[in-house]
Amino acid sequence: MPKERLMTALFLLQYTDKEEVVLWMNTVGPYHNRQETYKYFSLPFCVGTKKTISHYHETLGEALQGVELEFSGLDITFKEEVMQTTYCDIELDKPKRDAFVYAIKNHYWYQMYIDDLPIWGIVGEADENGEDHYLWTYKKLEIGYNGNRIVDVNLTSEGKVKLVPNTRIPMSYSVKWKKSDVKFEDRFDKYLDPSFFQHRIHWFSIFNSFMMVIFLVGLVSMILMRTLRKDYARYSKEEEMDDMDRDLGDEYGWKQVHGDVFRPSSHPLIFSSLVGSGCQIFSVSLIVIILAMIEDLYTERGSMLSTAIFVYAATSPVNGYFGGSLYAKQGGRRWIKQMFIGAFLIPAMVCGTAFFINFIAIYYHASRAIPFGTMVAVCCICFFVILPLNLVGTILGRNLSGQPNFPCRVNAVPRPIPEKKWFMEPAVIVCLGGILPFGSIFIEMYFIFTSFWAYKIYYVYGFMMLVLVILCIVTVCVTIVCTYFLLNAEDYRWQWTSFLSAASTAVYVYMYSFYYYFFKTKMYGLFQTSFYFGYMAVFSTALGIMCDLHIIALLLVLIASVVLICKSLWIKMSAK
């Protein structure tokens, strides 16, 4: 944590003796379906007698993540121990018993918070035969403190009581305080799992990806340098020949399409909007990862999502600048329409998926159902923050770098595209283009998936930053090679082919998500399955769009290459 943020946190989370300590009840749900959660009191638990606090006001990120904090009613004060005390009784009629039995059969667990530290507990358990079901009725809390701050919380569930209809079940708790040497800034370390995230397989995957980068950079350098060196050698040789000896019929390959390579792509409006969105997603990813490395965002509920939303809105000018300038370079005139599509492409995709899943969440009465006020807040961010900033970026992009500055004139008549071998077809190049980028990140995908869909807290953002850099380098190298082969086959339709060859990484990631779902998890049910595949589709699509960042680099490489070609042609013509 930065020093200023740490000092603020220390000030806010200090207690005096006998000061009230709030136990918040969050959600309850099936253990194997992490996102299928419900309000804690949706099960017929009873509430404690203390009535000082009614509800916790969530942040935007907490509301979107289904955080439902409600006061437990338990009387807890700082450094004051509480012996086993009954705080309420459950009048167990048949409907309540059936609710508890269903929860126990589906391995329901619940989450609580004390001083922003999470605690987990199991609702109950069944016997070996699965006929009798038992409810844990005694919450045994052990709280560690260092000075006047809470640094550790543990829960032990005891008091197993058989569920029998028409009986009264007393619910009790106790609180024990103990001194701890754990520093306040290190209190979250117990929730991390270094043995999992820093396993040698993780390091090996990074090393393997790094070696792939070296290989691809060497391959691309060899292709470019060898080709240009060969061209210069041939042109120098021709300068020494007379006109009769010149071989003017050996022009072949990608040099033949230098007059068509900067021809506007088909559907330039959609293409430029996707490129602008990709640049914005990359900017968001980079900034959020850096902030997570500096700020330890994983220690606060909903802070990662809130930060991502804020950064996405703040980086909207990036989208407008790159999308608007590219659209202007391709001669587009409907720039206002392009601006709207670029601004709302990603928000519409995310909100559309969330809207569909929200219907299922409402049907299930799940805590993941997004409140109406939160929907209004998100819409306001889109219309009053993202759109105006995107407009600013679009205007800057069109005026600062929107003029075509290609090194040669585009031919008036498109050159016919000759027949080529099947493996040079754009569809084949697209399918093969995403294999190596996916290979460089799929191990990291396992760790990211496990942290989100299972019960691990992702904290090794240095690894994620390194993988992001590796992904960008691999994607640029692969698309340069793919574009070289396409142009060498005298097919100048490189824009969409290079874009889709990089974006095809998303297809492989989504296919991997199917493998992860069926072989690495025990998820079940309509809600969890819809949530998983819906948001995995959003994640994969966003990743694929982000990979189009290479278009900017590829455009620079093409401009540099064509400049050299034109220079060589000028030398050749001057020699005549």
Hey, which bits of 408-502 come out as E strands?
Answer: none
Q: Considering just the CA atoms, what is the radius of gyration of the chain in Å?
A: 30
Task: Name the token pair of 357.
Answer: 């899943």
CA–chain centroid gap for 570, Å, is 49
Task: Name the token pair of 187.
Answer: 């209190």
Report the pLDDT value the prediction gives residue 473, as an integer from 0 to 100.
86
Among 85, 88, 69, residue whose Cα is nearest residue 77: 85
Looking at the DSSP bridge assignments, the partners of residue 405 are none
Interatomic CA distance for residues 68 and 539, integer angstroms: 25
Do residues 145 and 177 touch, judged by C-beta distance below 8 A? yes
Report the pLDDT value the prediction gives residue 52, as an integer from 0 to 100.
66
Helix (H) or strand (E) holding 122: strand 117-122
Among 67, 73, 154, 152, residue whose Cα is nearest residue 368: 67
453 Cβ neighbours under 8 A, 6+ residues apart: 34, 35, 516, 521, 523, 532
**Backbone φ and ψ of 487, nearest 5°:** -70, -30
Interatomic CA distance for residues 373 and 229, integer angstroms: 63
> Domain residues of the chain, as ranges?
3-191, 206-215+266-403+423-575
Do residues 29 and 109 touch, judged by C-beta distance below 8 A? yes
Pairing relationship of beta strands 124-126 and 149-162 according to DSSP bridges = unpaired
The label of the residue with tokens 């009840």 reads 25
CA 92 to each of CA 32, 44, 135, 136: distance values in angstroms, whole numbers, following the listed order: 27, 9, 11, 14
Report the pLDDT value the prediction gives residue 8, as an integer from 0 to 100.
40
End-to-end CA distance of the chain: 69
CA 176 to each of CA 83, 120, 150, 191: distance values in angstroms, whole numbers, following the listed order: 8, 17, 13, 21
Burial (CB < 10 A; 0-12, 13-18, 19+), residue 26, is: buried
Do residues 302 and 117 touch, judged by C-beta distance below 8 A? no
**Backbone φ and ψ of 241, nearest 5°:** -95, 160
**Backbone φ and ψ of 296, nearest 5°:** 55, 60
Q: How many helices (H) and strands (E) would you count in the chain?
A: 18, 10
Interatomic CA distance for residues 459 and 421, integer angstroms: 47
pLDDT in tens, 18-56: 899 999 999 999 999 999 999 999 999 999 888 766 556
CA 541 to each of CA 83, 291, 318, 349, 506: distance values in angstroms, whole numbers, following the listed order: 54, 24, 19, 9, 6
* CB under 8 A, 24+ apart: contacts of 228-233: 228/561, 228/564, 231/255, 231/564, 231/565, 231/568, 232/568
The DSSP secondary structure of 350-372, one letter per residue, reads HHHHHHHHHHHHHHHT-TTSPPH
Report the pLDDT value the prediction gives residue 208, as an integer from 0 to 100.
82
Report the pLDDT value the prediction gives residue 9, as an integer from 0 to 100.
43
- CA torsion 45-47-53-56 (nearest 10°) is 0
DSSP category for residue 69: -
Interatomic CA distance for residues 34 and 400, integer angstroms: 48
3-state secondary structure of 115: coil
Among 259, 235, 230, residue whose Cα is nearest residue 573: 235
3-state secondary structure of 168: strand
Query: Which ranges constitute the DSSP H helices of 521-549?
Result: 526-546
Among 138, 142, 150, 22, residue whose Cα is nearest residue 85: 138
Interatomic CA distance for residues 475 and 552, integer angstroms: 12
Interatomic CA distance for residues 207 and 185, integer angstroms: 31
3-state secondary structure string, 308-321? HHHHHHHCHHHHHH
Taking only the tens of pLDDT, the chain with its 576 residues reads 444 444 344 445 689 998 999 999 999 999 999 999 999 999 999 998 887 665 566 789 889 998 888 999 999 999 999 999 999 999 999 999 999 999 999 999 999 999 999 999 999 999 888 889 999 999 999 999 999 999 999 999 999 999 999 999 999 999 999 999 999 989 999 999 888 887 778 888 888 888 888 888 887 778 777 766 665 565 455 455 545 444 444 455 667 777 788 888 889 999 999 999 999 999 999 999 999 998 888 888 889 999 999 999 999 999 999 999 999 988 888 999 999 999 999 999 999 999 999 999 999 999 999 999 999 999 999 999 999 999 999 999 998 876 777 767 778 788 888 888 888 899 999 999 999 899 889 888 999 999 999 888 999 899 899 999 889 888 888 888 888 888 888 888 888 998 999 999 999 999 999 999 999 999 999 999 999 999 999 999 999 999 876 565 555 556 556 555 555 555 555 555
**Backbone φ and ψ of 87, nearest 5°:** -105, -15
